[in-house]
Structures are given as C-alpha cells and as structure tokens.
Structure 1
Amino acid sequence: MYTIAHRGASGYAPENTFAAFDLAAELKSDMIELDVQLTKDRHIVVIHDDRVDRTTNGTGYVKDYTLKELQTLDAGSWFGPAFQGEKIPTLEAVLKRYHQKVGLLIELKGPPSQVGLEKEVGKLLSTFSFSIYNIVQSFNIRSIQTFRDLYPSIPTAVIARPSFGRLTRNQLNVYQSCADYANIKYTRLNRLLISSVHKRGLKVFAWTIRDQKTADKLQSMAVDGIVTDYPDFTLKDDKHETI
C-alpha cells in the first residue's frame, strides 16, 4: 500500500508548496499529490483553488495572473509565520526537484476553463521520462479521456465520489476505458466496491484521510494507496511492489 501526501504533507506545512513537498519526502511518502493550473501566459503552476485568495496574500483568479505576478505572492503566511515567503511553484520546478525521488499524483484543475491543460501537462511530463512514477488524475472524465488519447503511456486516474458506496457497470466501463486507477473518497469505500474495481484491473486510492483511526482501517481494506495530509499516519514497509 502506498502513502500519497495530499498537497504535500499539508497537515504540517502550507499545501502545494516546497515546504510541504520537502516534508512529504522526508516522511518517506511514496507519492506527492498536487494540483495544477495554467497561468495567463500558459505556465503550469501548482495551486488548488481557481482563486489565489485562500492560500496567498493576493486576490483573483489564477488564470488572470502571469507567472511573474503569481510568484510575487506569499503562499505560506496563511498557514503560519514560519512559512512566510513560500511561493507558488511551477510543475516544472517540482519535477526537477523530485522526479527521481518521489512519485507525483497530478490533478488537472478547472476544465473546461483551463483549455489545453491536458496537452501542456503531458508535454512537460514527456520530457521527464526517467521519473520514478507520475499519475495524472481529474474529477472530469472528459479531461482524463483527452489526456489518455494524447499520452497513452502516462498512467491516469479518475477521482470519484460514488453514490451509495457503489459504481454502476457503465461507470466501471468508462473508468476502465481511460484510467488505471479509481481514486475514491474514503467515506464511500467498502470492501465490495474495492473488489469490483479491482476486478476491472484498476487500482484504488482512498482520499483524503486526516485521522489515524481511519488510516488504520483503510490499511486493512486492501486499498492500493491512501491520500493523506499526514503521511506519517501510515506504517512504512521496507519493500514495495511496483505501482
């Protein structure tokens, strides 16, 4: 089972910053989950919300900023004074720093407003062919289908909140056609659902865990990975199978 640090070790440091990513690596996370969007001048930056207001000292939409303008913002002080001066990273900078150390679970944010994001992310990932492992995910099925069509060799995941703890046959067919993983909200997971996804040849990541009791429970339910703000909640084995 794999430990995926949600927006880095975001329980301990400001999300989607190098402070959170460095700590996730120090805690021996298998992967770092992060969110990407395009700037006004078509750079890929790592930030969750459509707007910068919640996690920086700026205001407005990410898509209305140039990269240079975004990187003048403070992305750390909201979390605590010790993180003052943290910046919004680019995906390229994250890849350069971690691509041979930690896997990345990259969420495409904002389609359809982020026109061309799939192409730009895939093009960048293709230049880091010696990365440990990268997975591209989205809530938006069409976005994942587009990405799979463009870059069939890069693993993909669909993020899901199944109703009543089940996926229909049609949903499973769609997931199977364009993804390698079904990443499912932990409150909707049960053993039968996990088994039905596994039978389709897909792996299951559970998101997002913020307490030790839930982490312990999920480790016993045969999920393939846990997405958590606190990567030290999951016990680390000396050996892992290939993702």
Structure 2
Amino acid sequence: MYTIAHRGASGYAPENTIAAFDLAAEMNADMIELDVQLTKDRQIVVIHDDRVDRTTNGSGFVKDFTLKELQALDAGSWYGPAFQGEKIPTLEAVLKRYHKKIGLLIELKGHPSQIGIEEEVGQLLGQFSFSINNIVQSFGFRSIQRFRELYPSIPTAVITRPNFGMLSRNQLKACKAFANYINIKYTRLNRLMIASAHKNGLKVFAWTVKHQKTAAKLQAMGVDGIVTDYPDYVLKDGKHE
C-alpha cells in the first residue's frame, strides 16, 4: 500500500513547496501528490488553486503570470514565518530532485486556461523515464483520456467522489479503459466498492485523510494507497513510517 503525501507533508509545511516535499521524503512517504498548471509562458508549475492569492503574497490568476513573476512570490509565509521565502516550484525542478527517490502523483488541474497541459506534462515526464513511479491523475475524465491516448505507457488515475457510495460495473469498466487507478474521496469508500474496483482491474486510492484512525480503517478495508496531509500517520507493519 502506498502512503501518498498530499501536496507534500502539508500538515507540517506549506503545500506544494520543496519544504513539504522534503518532509514527505523524510517521513518515508511512497509518493508525493502535487498539482500542476501552466504559466503565461507555458511553463509547468506546482500550485493547486487557479489563483495565487491563498498560498502566496501575490494576487491574480496563475495563467496571467510568467514563470519568473511567479517565482518572485513568497509561497511559504502564509503558513508560518519559518517558511518565509519558499517558492512555487516547477514540475521539472521537482522531478530532478525526487525522481529517483520517491514517486509522484501528478494532478492535472482542469481550469479552462490549461489547454494542452496533457502534452506538456507527458513530454516532460518522458525526459525522466527512469523515475521510481509517476502517476498522472485528474478529476477531468476527458483530460485523462487525452493523456492516455498520447502517453499510453504512463500510469493514470481518475479522481472521483461517487454520490451514493457505489460505482457501477459500467462506470468502473469505463474508467479501466483509460486509467490504472481510481482515487476516491475516503468518506464515500466501502469494502464492496474497493472489491468491485479490484475485480475490474483498478487499484484504489483514498483522499484526503487527516486522522490516524481513518487511515487505519481504510488500510483494513484494503485500499491500495492513502492520500494524507500527515504521511507519518499511516502505520505499516505495525510501525510508524
């Protein structure tokens, strides 16, 4: 089972920064989950929101900034003074730093400004073919379908929150056509759904876990990965990672 650090160890450091990613690696997470978007000059940066306001000292849409302008922003002070000066990293920098150390679960954001992000991310990942483990995911089924068509050798995941705690066989088969994993909101998960996904050839991740008891319960239910802000909360073989 994978322990997947949500935007890095974001319970302890500012999300989607090198500080959070380094901490996730120190905590022996198996993967780092992160979000990517394109800048005005078509560079791939790691940031969740379509605006920079919440996680930096700037204001405006990511798509309206060049990479140089984005990297002039402070992406750490909002979390705490100890992280003053943290920058918005590029996906390339993250890959260079971690691709032989830890896997990446890369979320393509579905904002309308992100046309062509599938091609850009796939081309970059192709330059790091000796990575430990990279998976590309999105809430946008069409985006993942597009990515799979372009880069069939790179594992993919779809993110979903099923309304009634169940996914039909047809839905699971549809997902299996273009994804290896299905990443489901943990509150919607149950043993039957996990077993059904496994029967249809899909592995199951659970997002986003913030409590130790929840992680233990999901682990007992047979999930294949837990996405958490606190990677040290996930017990493996009876011990903390």
3-state SS of the aligned residue for 1:57?
Answer: coil
Aligned equivalents of 1:168 and 1:235: distance in 2?
Answer: 31
Aligned equivalents of 1:144 and 1:153: distance in 2?
Answer: 13
Aligned equivalents of 1:112 and 1:53: distance in 2?
Answer: 18
Aligned equivalents of 1:170 and 1:235: distance in 2?
Answer: 34
Aligned residues: 238
Residue 36 (structure 1) aligned with residue 36 (structure 2): yes
Corresponding residue for 2:235?
235
Residue 216 (structure 1) aligned with residue 209 (structure 2): no
- Counting only pairs closer than 5 Å after superposition, residues 131-170 of structure 1 correspond to structure 2 as 131-170=131-170
* Cα distance change on mapping 1:24 and 1:203 into 2, 3 Å: same
Point out where structure 1 has 5 or more consecutive residues left out of the alignment: 239-243
Cα deviation code 1:166-206 (max 9, x no counterpart): 01233112101000000000000000000110011110000
- Counting only pairs closer than 5 Å after superposition, residues 62-73 of structure 1 correspond to structure 2 as 62-73=62-73
Kept in 2, the 8 Å contact 1:50–1:110? The answer is no
Kept in 2, the 8 Å contact 1:111–1:140? The answer is no
Kept in 1, the 8 Å contact 2:6–2:34? The answer is yes
Cα deviation code 1:140-170 (max 9, x no counterpart): 0000000000000000000010111101233
Kept in 1, the 8 Å contact 2:109–2:138? The answer is yes
Residue 79 (structure 1) aligned with residue 84 (structure 2): no
Corresponding residue for 2:112?
112
Kept in 1, the 8 Å contact 2:208–2:227? The answer is yes
Aligned equivalents of 1:202 and 1:219: distance in 2?
Answer: 17
Residue 187 (structure 1) aligned with residue 190 (structure 2): no
Corresponding residue for 1:98?
98
Cα deviation code 1:63-85 (max 9, x no counterpart): 00000000000000000000000
Kept in 2, the 8 Å contact 1:137–1:158? The answer is yes
- Counting only pairs closer than 5 Å after superposition, residues 5-44 of structure 1 correspond to structure 2 as 5-44=5-44
Tell me by how many angstroms 1:112 deviates: 3.5
CA RMSD of aligned residues (A): 1.0
**Runs of 4+ with deviation above 2 angstroms:** 110-113
3-state SS of the aligned residue for 2:221?
Answer: coil
Identity in percent = 79
